[in-house]
Amino acid sequence: MVVIGSHVSYKNESGLAGCVKEIIKYGGNAFMFYTGAPQNTKRGPIDDMRTIEALELMEKNQIALEHVVCHAPYIVNLGNDSDKDKYDFSVRFIREEMDRCETLGVRYLVLHPGNALKQERAFALQNIAKGLNKILREDDEMVILLETMAGKGTELGITIDEIVTILEGINLKEKVGVCLDTCHLHDSGIDVQKFDDYLKEFDEKIGLHKIGCVHVNDSKNVLGSHKDRHENIGFGLIGFDALLHVIYHEKLACVPKILETPYVDRLYAPYKQEIKMILDKKFNEHLIEDIIKEGSL
Ligand SMILES: [Zn+2]
């Protein structure tokens, strides 16, 4: 089966087991979670019993640990070092997040590279490498995945070349990979309809083996809009066929594909219906109605 799943929520009471139960409900075999709210850095202790329960459930349901991804909160920023306290906090927090992942047995941590704010982009890209060099340790068993960004505001990591610049500055190169996001690619100006051209360039400059995760999202906005507003699969300006091509791409067969599409009416998770549509390989024009119907049962 194609490696497909979605973002799920992690709660301190249910821990990793809660995440696994949620993805089983959606029919996925991969998942991504934040260890707390994505917009803050408050984090609770980890209950090992819930992790053991999670691993048992995963084995029963053929969910491989390599297909589980953690996402760092998006308010940490390694791109700007003008405020040393803030920069050091980001370094410390990401390090702690890696330790939390290692406790959970999770191998991948997705990180938004950062924002330049008022600093020069070239300088800011170096700040990211500098921060990662402080964070990464020789004995780390996990990999940080730098996410490709839409280019909203002063976001960094919006072109292959910017990712290359960051990677070049990193000492422990094998501990850093890349997470693609189809909405971000589209919004940054890369045509997902021509995904093979993008992969070719990526392979030449970075190497496809560095891709550890793909966020599959449609986009509410036009190509190159730099907005970063996700849309449900097939309902945006990338379209169902182009996204299906990414999901079933033979060169990304082992890579977890994760949906981060919006809840319908802010209430109903769309993932079960979207995963079904992806597995059926057939666009469901009534998807939104079906999600509401199912959600309100
Ligand atoms: Zn992200």
Kindly report the CA angle at 62 between 56 and 66, in degrees rounded to 5?
A: 90
Number of folded domains in the chain? 1
Contact call for residues 154 and 116 (beta carbons, < 8 A):
yes
Whether residue 102 is contained in a domain is answered as yes
Whether residue 279 is contained in a domain is answered as no
| Distance between Cα 72 and ligand 1 center (Å) | 8
Whether residue 276 is contained in a domain is answered as no
For 217, the token pair is 């999202």
pLDDT digits (tens, 9 = 90+) for 65-86: 999 999 999 889 999 999 999 9
Q: What is the mean pLDDT of residues 200-205?
A: 98
- In this predicted structure, the answer to whether residue 288 has a pLDDT above a threshold of 80 is yes
pLDDT at 45: 84
For residue 94, the domain's CATH number is 3.20.20.150
Rg (CA), the chain: 18
Query: Cα–Cα distance between 294 and 81 in angstroms, integer?
Result: 47
- In this predicted structure, the answer to whether residue 284 has a pLDDT above a threshold of 90 is yes
**Read out DSSP for 188-209?**
HT--GGGHHHHHHHHHHHT-GG
Whether residue 120 is contained in a domain is answered as yes
| Distance between Cα 155 and ligand 1 center (Å) | 12
For 129, the token pair is 């490498």
Whether residue 280 is contained in a domain is answered as no
Query: Cα–Cα distance between 74 and 72 in angstroms, integer?
Result: 6
| Distance between Cα 182 and ligand 1 center (Å) | 11
Contact call for residues 7 and 40 (beta carbons, < 8 A):
no
Q: Specify the range with the lowest mean pLDDT, choosing from 37-41, 62-66, 143-147, 180-184.
A: 37-41
- In this predicted structure, the answer to whether residue 293 has a pLDDT above a threshold of 90 is yes
pLDDT at 41: 86
- In this predicted structure, the answer to whether residue 38 has a pLDDT above a threshold of 90 is no
- In this predicted structure, the answer to whether residue 297 has a pLDDT above a threshold of 80 is no
Whether residue 11 is contained in a domain is answered as yes
pLDDT digits (tens, 9 = 90+) for 88-113: 999 999 999 999 999 999 999 999 99
| Distance between Cα 297 and ligand 1 center (Å) | 31
- In this predicted structure, the answer to whether residue 4 has a pLDDT above a threshold of 80 is yes
Whether residue 150 is contained in a domain is answered as yes
| Distance between Cα 145 and ligand 1 center (Å) | 10
| Distance between Cα 281 and ligand 1 center (Å) | 25
Percent of the chain with pLDDT over 90: 93
Contact call for residues 213 and 69 (beta carbons, < 8 A):
yes
pLDDT at 271: 98
E strands present in the chain: 4-7, 30-33, 68-71, 108-111, 143-147, 176-181, 211-216, 218-219, 230-231, 257-259
Q: What is the mean pLDDT of residues 140-161?
A: 97
Domain range holding 62?
4-260
Whether residue 22 is contained in a domain is answered as yes
Q: How many CB atoms lie within 10 A of CB 173?
A: 12
Mean pLDDT rounded to a whole number for the chain: 96
| Distance between Cα 180 and ligand 1 center (Å) | 9
pLDDT digits (tens, 9 = 90+) for 175-184: 999 999 999 9
pLDDT range class, residue 44, cuts 50, 70, 90: confident
pLDDT at 103: 92
| Distance between Cα 59 and ligand 1 center (Å) | 27
| Distance between Cα 40 and ligand 1 center (Å) | 14
